[in-house]
Structure 1
Amino acid sequence: MSGNNPRFHVGDQVTIHGGHHNVGVQHNNGPVGDQALPPEIAAMFAQLAAVVAELARDSRVHEEDRQSLTEALPVLRDPASEERRGWRNTLLLLAGVTQSIGEAAAPALGLANQLLALISG
């Protein structure tokens, strides 16, 4: 992904610095390991994981919603182990669940929407 967000790129990138008969492509198929995640994205996932974990323990939240929040935590805590599509699916799920919870989930909803905007370009 490139285009409007130069801080986060997924996909092929080709750079040629002079020469003749150049052949070669660097394949960037997505994050591999913690180093591949931009620090800003990793920090936002960590912050969202902390907010969601707290919300998942809140007894005022309906049990089914707490279960959905808990199921999202592995992706939030270790996004580098998941493909970008998994991030998007998890964030969309969180956006829906947190929106239905209401005011108590506003910080989680805000972070999920920010991350969705960043990864969607």
Structure 2
Amino acid sequence: MSGNTPQFHLGDNVTIHGGHHNIGVQHNNGRAGEALPPEVAAMFARLAAEVAELARDSRVHEQDRQSLTETLPVLRHPASEEQRGRRNALLLLAGVTQSIGEAAAPALGLANQLLALISG
């Protein structure tokens, strides 16, 4: 990644320092309750604000507003979700915001940035 985009690695990390028959994997799955890096938490907070605004926009189709509203608990409290739950919410959000169009461009951009960060 380039520019001012923060770089984090969330996911499996395997390091082998010699030896034979090495078996083992350190799983960094972002378990529920673990603190997120401050920059990632701030991006989730900005995205939650964008999504809350879109969910109130009467120009957005009712079903899309409902889908947006369903992602808000995860966006507002991402550390309370496992990585899979955060990723699923972001994927849903990316699809919905893409279908909304120009009005949802800031939310789509943030969702895509977060997906890239948490997907490694």
TM-score, normalization by structure 1: 0.77
CA distance in 1, matches of 2:7, 2:111: 20
**Number of positions where the alignment pairs a residue of Structure 1 with one of Structure 2:** 108
Q: RMSD value over aligned CA atoms?
A: 2.4
Task: Give ranges in structure 2 of 5+ residues lacking alignment.
Answer: 1-5, 18-25
* Contact kept in structure 2, 1:8 and 1:38, CA below 8 Å: no
Q: Secondary structure at the match of 1:61?
A: coil
* Contact kept in structure 2, 1:10 and 1:28, CA below 8 Å: yes
| Higher relative contact order, structure no. (Cα contacts within 8 Å, ≥ 6 residues apart) | 2
**Aligned equivalent of 2:74:** 75
Task: Give ranges in structure 1 of 5+ residues lacking alignment.
Answer: 17-25
Q: Which amino acid aligns with 1:62?
A: H
Runs of 4+ in 1 over 6 A off after TM superposition: none
CA distance in 2, matches of 1:62, 1:42: 28
Check 1:114–1:12 CA distance in 2 against 1; reply closer, same or farther (3 A cut). Answer: closer
CA distance in 2, matches of 1:62, 1:72: 16
**Aligned equivalent of 2:48:** 49
Aligned-pair distance for 1:6?
6.4
Matches within 5 A, 1:29-68: 29-33=29-33, 36-68=35-67
Check 1:110–1:12 CA distance in 2 against 1; reply closer, same or farther (3 A cut). Answer: closer
Please identify the structure whose Cα radius of gyration is greater. 1
Question: Alpha-carbon deviations, 1:66-86, whole Å to 9, x = none?
Answer: 000001000000001100000
Question: Alpha-carbon deviations, 1:41-79, whole Å to 9, x = none?
Answer: 100000000000000000000000000000100000000
